Amino acid sequence: MKNPASISIGLATSSLALGYALSSRWIWAIVIVGLGLCWLAGQQRAGSWLTGLGLIACVTAAAFGVWWGLSTGWMLFSTVAALAAWDLDHFARRIQPAAQMEGETRLKRAHFQRLSIVVGLGLLLGSVALSLQVELNLAGAILLGLLVIIGFSRVIGFLKDRGN
Amino acid sequence: MTKLFLLGFLVYGLIFASLATLNGGLLALTIPLLIYLGAGFLRQPETLRLKVSRSLSTDHVFPGEPVTVKLTLTNEGTWLDEVLLEDLLPNSLIQVDGQVSVMTSLPPGGTVQLVYRVQGKRGIYHFSAVRVTAGGHLSLFKKRTRLPAPGQFLVLPEVVRLQRVEIRPRQTRVYSGVIPARQGGPGVEFFGVREYQPGDPLRWINSRASARHAQTTFINEFEQERVADVGLILDARQQSDVPSSEGSLFEYSIQATTALADAFLNAGNRVGLFIYGRALNWTFPGYGKIQRERILWALAQAKPGAGHVFEKLEHLPTRLFPARSQLVLVSPLLPHDPDELIKLRARGYRLLVVSPDPIAFEQKERSKEREIVLATRIARLERKVLLGKLRQADIRVLDWPVETPFPQAAHAALSRFQRL
């Protein structure tokens, strides 16, 4: 299970670095490659916090890349690959405490299938969204902002309920 | 929950960033994350309806023998994508083989089984529950529950065989046995001479004594051999125990009590066990193999405990023991114990004290510093005085240095009755 996660980490960081390198932001590309190597190296030893940090770093770098006008395709691909790496790493850690796996192949195959669907759909819809142009006026932005705030408060309430 | 929090944080971060910068590309980055979250929300695990059953290969074993534990988990609810079943092993139980946790997916009506073997030291082991963690789609949401799966087994103390323990209680029971009953009659050992009475076997006639008296015939009498009541008292007071890194002195007391109970029961005696510690634990006297089993079960569960009332032996309920019977106390002995034991002796009980030596046991753990050596010498002298007091009161004492195997120590001191 570590291998698919490592491949995903490699894909996430290399696509990100490529996106930065294509815009001649070499220093950032080298920094991203370095971060990817650190993520790969620490994957075996560190806890799940590292993979979470890796996902945050990749998404943040992708967001900066989009903001700086780099190729959004690479940024989106990088986000999706980082998400897959993060999920696969968590899956590997979940099955680790189990001394015995019953139907191991079936369990892994089912998880890969679910992840593939989610990742494929995310990539597809993300690409569609990138090709769409929607004009957002001030009212629309405010409406969207309100929706975000309401959604945010709902999520906090939900988390509190689950915590209780 | 951490996964959910992290994804939520990223999604909201990206949305706020896109609103702040009015950049639609940032919103597009949230889509894969939102789809992941949505997939997790849609397929979160429902209420767990699981049934678990546990079976053990036996309810009691001797040390070193493994017990096979079988756990079966049945899903009586909806499909569970990922289920982690973990058995919660009692402390100090060693897993010999098999696995105590399993991960699988469970369809409705599906079952999963865990089989493993464990072994442990003397004691009672209670299994209480199993932990089940069920994750939904992508395990974004998890449900964790503890399902009761009770079970217990005993590891009985090891029984070391003693060749013979000679006792002479002042009163015996009516059934024939191996204990001299201080009464003339059929037996092996010469007891005395009495006048012949009709019905006496002719081969018992003492011709020498009869020859000296013209009109009277004398016959030999033998000492009858009967069974006796034996009350075993195990000292389980916390303050008399000596814990160490290799175990506690109490385990040696258990070993001695087990061996003595086995020896007395094998000789046909009626044996009762009294465990004097945090509370009073009384195994009613009885004979034979069933009683042996009862005593072993009681000893398997015995552990030292502190009780303010039972700090001294003065609360020993002597009424439980038949008058003038044989009492056997297994105890490392505390300084104030001899007074109570002498009182028991004065009431007519025959007393045998088997005392695992706490000083020699503790000495192994201590350094060879001058102060320690001096302290050990003082403790030895005190113990010598204490044991001497008991011997003076006609109480038999076996001072057992625990590095010597108990059968060896018991054979040397208890195989012949020596009046002290």
What is the structure's pLDDT at B67? 95
Q: Which residue has the higher pLDDT, A45 or B201?
A: B201
Rounded Cα distance between B405 and B415, Å, is 15
Three-state secondary structure call for residue B17: helix
Rounded Cα distance between B374 and B383, Å, is 14
What is the structure's pLDDT at B115? 92
Rounded Cα distance between B244 and B363, Å, is 10
Q: Which residue has the higher pLDDT, A84 or B40?
A: A84
Q: In which residue ranges of chain B is pLDDT below 50?
A: 419-420
What is the structure's pLDDT at B139? 78
Selection from A32, A4, A27, A34 nearest residue A17 by Cα: A32
SS3 of B370-385: the string is: HHHHHHHHHHHHHHHH
Q: How far is A41 from chain B (nearest CA, A)?
A: 22
Rounded Cα distance between B15 and B8, Å, is 11
Q: How does pLDDT run across B219-257, given as a tens digit for each residue?
A: 888 877 777 889 999 999 998 898 888 789 999 999 999
Query: Which residues 133-152 of chain B have a CB within 8 Å of chain A?
Result: 135, 137-139
pLDDT over threshold 80, residue A156: no
Q: How does pLDDT run across B91-135, given as a tens digit for each residue?
A: 888 999 888 888 888 888 989 999 999 999 999 999 999 999 888
Q: Which residue of B has its CA nearest to A123?
A: B32
pLDDT over threshold 70, residue A160: no
- Model ipTM value: 0.86
Residue B227 in tokens: 């069974």
Rounded Cα distance between B344 and B351, Å, is 8
Q: Is A24 left (phi over 0), alpha (psi -120 to 50) or beta?
A: left
The pairing of strands B247-248 and B326-330 is: unpaired
What is the structure's pLDDT at B167? 82
Selection from B278, B264, B274, B279 nearest residue B320 by Cα: B274
Q: DSSP labels for B292-343?
A: HHHHHHHHHH---B--STTSSGGG--GGGSPTT-EEEEE----TTHHHHHHH
What is the structure's pLDDT at B420? 44
Query: To probe the interface with B, which of A87, A102, A158, A159 has the most B CB atoms within 10 Å?
Result: A102
What is the structure's pLDDT at B92? 83
Q: Which residue of B has its CA nearest to A113?
A: B138
Set of chain A residues whose Cβ sits within 8 Å of the Cβ of B84: 94, 97-98
Q: Where are the alpha helices (DSSP H) in chain A?
A: 2-22, 26-43, 48-67, 72-95, 104-131, 138-163
Set of chain A residues whose Cβ sits within 8 Å of the Cβ of B45: none
What is the structure's pLDDT at B68? 95
Q: How does pLDDT run across A128-144, given as a tens digit for each residue?
A: 888 877 676 778 778 87
Q: How does pLDDT run across A53-81, given as a tens digit for each residue?
A: 889 999 999 999 988 888 888 999 999 99
Rounded Cα distance between B30 and B322, Å, is 86
Q: Specify the residue for token string 């079952």.
A: B111
Q: Which residue of A has its CA nearest to B39?
A: A118
